[in-house]
Amino acid sequence: MTPRNYLKQKKQSHFTQGGIEVIIKDELIYGEKSSNFSVKDVIGFVTSRIPKSLLTNVDVIYVGNFDFLNKRSVQAMYDNSSIFVTNRQDNFEDMCDDIIHEIAHSVEEIKNMYIYTDGLLESEFIIKRKQLYSTLKSEGFCEDVDLQTFLEIEYAPSFDNFLYKEVGYSALSVLAASIFYSPYAATSLREYFANGFEAYYCHQDVDFLQKACPKLYAKILGLTGEEYEK
């Protein structure tokens, strides 16, 4: 029996919306301060915000309690045209964030050359990493981390732990407020792209992206054939 068939047998709900199959393995568990919302509400919001041309690499979204998400302490993951998202959600906005962020990673697979080959996004990211290094060093956070570490564009658990545990996302959200859209965008080039995609399509924070991340903003527009005119 395939994992997909197993999940279908265990499902509590199964529907298709916006051309995406949705399988709910476990019912939503809401945060203490959250008003109730449905998975259909979330998928409806997501598919209304993102152009159909950018959803072609997502076949199915699974909602539930998944060990592989828990072990990695993540809310969602994209893998092989599927998105897995936890059923434990603080609120409607967070679940939308989770799914749209993973859709961005699905877009990377089919638009990889366009996004990264010319090096423009990487150059912008490196400049921001250098700015972040200078900022954190001035605040006394980089005694054991050198500049070279900040110039690595691939995801590294050690660097992620440095940002998350040693600096702390609360401090980072203040110190890097004018550099990155959110602290997680600083963890790697791929997360920089996905975080910008999320900012554009979920939060529609166009002004910040246009001013602070012009190359990223231009890439996101170009995904659907639009051009950024300065």
pLDDT band at 225 (very low <50, low <70, confident <90, very high): confident
pLDDT at 36: 85
Residue 133 to residue 118: CA distance in whole angstroms? 25
Statement: residue 3 has pLDDT above 90: no
DSSP letter (8 states) at residue 203: I
CA-CA-CA-CA torsion sign (155, 74, 129, 108)? positive
Give the mean model confidence (pLDDT) for residues 24-52: 91
Burial of 160 (0-12, 13-18, 19+ CB in 10 A): middle
pLDDT at 32: 79
Q: Is-contact 228 217, C-beta < 8 A?
A: yes
Statement: residue 8 has pLDDT above 60: no
Which of 99, 4, 106 has the alpha carbon at shortest distance from 44?
Answer: 99
DSSP letter (8 states) at residue 205: -
Residue 98 to residue 124: CA distance in whole angstroms? 24
pTM of the complete model: 0.91
